[in-house]
Amino acid sequence: MTYRIAVLPGDYAGPEVTAEAVKVLRTLQEVSSLRFDLQEGLIGGAAVDATGDPLPAATLQLCQASDAVLLGAVGGPRWDGLPAAQRPEQGLLRLRRALDLYANLRPAKVYEPLVAASTLRPEVVRGIDLLVVRELVGGIYYGEPRGIERLAEGERAINTMVYTTAEIRRVAHLAFTLARQRRHKVTSVDKANVLEVSVLWRREVTEVAGAFPDVTLEHLYVDNCAMQLVRDPRQFDVILTGNLFGDILSDEAAMLTGSIGMLPSASLGGKTGLFEPVHGSAPDIAGRGVVNPLAAIASVAMLLAYGLQEVAAAQAVEAAVARVLEEGYRTPDIMAPGCTPVSTAEMGDHVCAALRQGLATA
- The pLDDT tens digits of the residues spanning 299-350 come to 999 999 999 999 999 999 999 999 999 999 999 999 989 999 999 999 999 9
If asked whether residues 112 and 249 sit together in one domain, one would say yes
What is the average per-residue pLDDT within 215-221?
98
What pLDDT does residue 257 have?
Answer: 85
What pLDDT does residue 361 have?
Answer: 84
With b meaning 16 or more CB within 10 Å and e meaning fewer, what string describes 154-186?
Answer: eeeeeeebebeeebbebbbbbbbebbeeeeebb
Of residues 243, 105, 51, 87, the one with CA closest to residue 161: 243
- The pLDDT tens digits of the residues spanning 157-209 come to 999 999 999 999 999 999 999 999 999 999 999 999 999 999 999 999 999 99
pLDDT: which is higher, 248 or 1: 248
Per-residue pLDDT band at 352 (split at 50, 70, 90)? very high
Which residues participate in catalysis according to the annotation? 141, 191, 223, 247, 251
What is the average per-residue pLDDT within 281-299?
96
Domain extent at residue 346 = 1-102+269-362
What pLDDT does residue 53 have?
Answer: 97
**Does the structure show a pLDDT above 80 at 362?**
no
Hey, how many other C-beta atoms are within 10 angstroms of the C-beta on 337?
A: 5
What is the average per-residue pLDDT within 61-66?
98
If asked whether residues 116 and 52 sit together in one domain, one would say no
Nearby residues of 260 by Cβ (< 8 Å), 6 or more positions away: 251, 254, 278, 279, 295
What pLDDT does residue 260 have?
Answer: 82
What pLDDT does residue 264 have?
Answer: 95
- The pLDDT tens digits of the residues spanning 238-264 come to 999 999 999 999 989 988 887 888 899
If asked whether residues 113 and 82 sit together in one domain, one would say no
Q: For the chain, what's the residue count? A: 362
If asked whether residues 119 and 238 sit together in one domain, one would say yes
What pLDDT does residue 270 have?
Answer: 87
Coil, strand, or helix at residue 222?
helix
If asked whether residues 32 and 157 sit together in one domain, one would say no
Domain boundary among 245, 262, 279: 262
- The beta strands (E) that lie in the chain are given as 2-10, 35-40, 68-73, 103-109, 129-135, 147-150, 155-158, 185-190, 216-221, 238-241, 264-268, 273-277, 329-330, 340-341
If asked whether residues 83 and 121 sit together in one domain, one would say no
If asked whether residues 116 and 197 sit together in one domain, one would say yes
Give me the CATH number covering residue 336: 3.40.718.10
Domain boundary among 212, 233, 262: 262
If asked whether residues 2 and 137 sit together in one domain, one would say no
Domain boundary among 262, 297, 314: 262
If asked whether residues 275 and 312 sit together in one domain, one would say yes
- Cβ atoms of 279 and 21 within 8 Å: the answer is no
What is the average per-residue pLDDT within 216-220?
98
- The pLDDT tens digits of the residues spanning 98-155 come to 999 999 999 999 999 989 888 889 999 999 999 999 999 999 999 999 999 999 999 9
What is the average per-residue pLDDT within 8-35?
97
- Tell me how far apart the 2 most distant CA atoms of the chain are, in Å: 73
If asked whether residues 352 and 212 sit together in one domain, one would say no
- Per the structure, the count of domains in the chain is 2
Instruction: Characterise 352 by phi-psi region: left (phi > 0), alpha (psi -120 to 50), beta (else).
Output: alpha
If asked whether residues 183 and 275 sit together in one domain, one would say no
Hey, how many other C-beta atoms are within 10 angstroms of the C-beta on 256?
A: 21
- The pLDDT tens digits of the residues spanning 64-73 come to 999 999 999 9
Coil, strand, or helix at residue 271?
coil
What pLDDT does residue 355 have?
Answer: 97
If asked whether residues 129 and 245 sit together in one domain, one would say yes
Cα separation, 171 vs 268, whole angstroms: 10
Q: What is the mean pLDDT of the chain?
A: 95
